[in-house]
């Protein structure tokens, strides 16, 4: 019974999150977003399976490897090791692929009320410095709201922005810009 209740609780939480992440998409600006180049972690395995099935001259003894992440504490540890949420152009939507990571960090904060985090928003280099500072703030606030809904107390978090001032990657092409549109989760 105890296990069932826990599972049910998790399911409700996941549903609530699904609504939350979808709800964020209303904050888009009028600019068309550029193509998302962030490939989900499971994309490689799916591509490998497709090639094996559809290729005409595939050897019959070929075996496609599916590499599962470690279960339990290991998976949480991997998620906790991630600390950057990337965003599409002119977007403040926290994408689903960052959900495990944000959940893992939120869980640590929820069970440790003395712990605090800074959420640092950043933009790419295009546009004005002050407007970009506000856009970076909006991204950081989007992550903050997500974590508060996951049970983190508001006073454990501070959303701040560096705008375009601290790019993670130098360069003036989409590859660099995509790495710079981000929120970094930092222990305070």
Partner 1 sequence: MAQFRVEITGIGGTQIPVAVATFRDEDKAPQPVSAIVRADLQRSGLFRIVDAPGSFDEGSRIIIPEWRARGADALAVGSVSRLADGRFDVRYKLWDLVKAEELLGQSNAALPADMRLAAHRIADSIYQKLTGERGVFSTRIAYVTLAANRYALHVTDADGEGGQIALASPDPIISPAWSPDGKELAYVSFESQKAVVWVQDIASGKRRMLANFRGSNSAPAWSPDGRDLALTLSRDAVAQLYLISRDGGTPRRLTSSSAIDTEPVFTPDGRQIFFVSDRGGGPQIYRMPAAGGNAERVTFSGNYNISPAISPDGRVLAYITRQGSSFKVMVQELAGGSPAAITDTSDDESPSFAPNGRLLVYASRAQGRDVLMTTTLDGKIKSRLLTTGADMREPAWGPFGR
| Binding residues vs partner 1 (CB under 8 A) | 29-31, 118, 120, 126-131, 133-135, 137-138, 141, 158-163, 165-166
- Per the structure block, which two tokens stand in for 111? 């069970």
Smaller CB separation from partner 1, 44 or 134: 134
Angle at 91 (CA atoms; ends 160, 28), nearest 5 degrees? 115
For residue 161, the minimal CB distance to partner 1 (Å) is 5
For residue 1, the minimal CB distance to partner 1 (Å) is 43
Smaller CB separation from partner 1, 94 or 133: 133
Smaller CB separation from partner 1, 77 or 127: 127
Q: Are 88 and 181 in contact (CB under 8 A)?
A: yes
| Phi, psi angle pair for 78, to nearest 5° | -65, -40
Question: How far, in Å, CA of 17 to CA of 33, rounded?
Answer: 23
For residue 100, the minimal CB distance to partner 1 (Å) is 26
| Phi, psi angle pair for 49, to nearest 5° | -65, -40
Smaller CB separation from partner 1, 28 or 95: 28
For residue 27, the minimal CB distance to partner 1 (Å) is 10
Q: What is the dihedral of CA 13, 38, 119, 10, to 10 degrees?
A: 10
């Amino acid at each position: 019974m105890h296990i069932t209740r826990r599972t049910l609780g998790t399911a409700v939480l996941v549903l609530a999150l699904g609504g939350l992440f979808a709800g964020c998409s209303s904050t888009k600006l009028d600019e068309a977003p550029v193509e998302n180049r962030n490939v989900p972690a499971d994309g490689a395995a799916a591509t490998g399976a497709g090639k094996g099935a559809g290729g005409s001259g595939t050897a019959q003894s070929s075996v496609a490897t599916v590499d599962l992440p470690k279960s339990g504490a290991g998976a949480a540890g991997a998620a906790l090791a991630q600390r950057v949420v990337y965003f599409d152009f002119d977007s403040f939507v926290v994408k689903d692929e960052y959900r495990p990571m944000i959940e893992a960090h939120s869980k640590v904060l929820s069970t440790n009320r003395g712990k605090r985090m800074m959420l640092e928003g950043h933009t790419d280099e295009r546009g004005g410095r002050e407007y970009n500072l506000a856009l970076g703030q909006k991204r950081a606030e989007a992550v903050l709201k997500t974590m508060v809904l996951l049970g983190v107390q508001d006073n454990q978090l501070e959303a701040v922005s560096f705008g375009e001032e601290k790019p993670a990657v130098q360069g003036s092409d989409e590859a660099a810009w995509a790495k710079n549109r981000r929120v970094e989760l930092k222990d305070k």
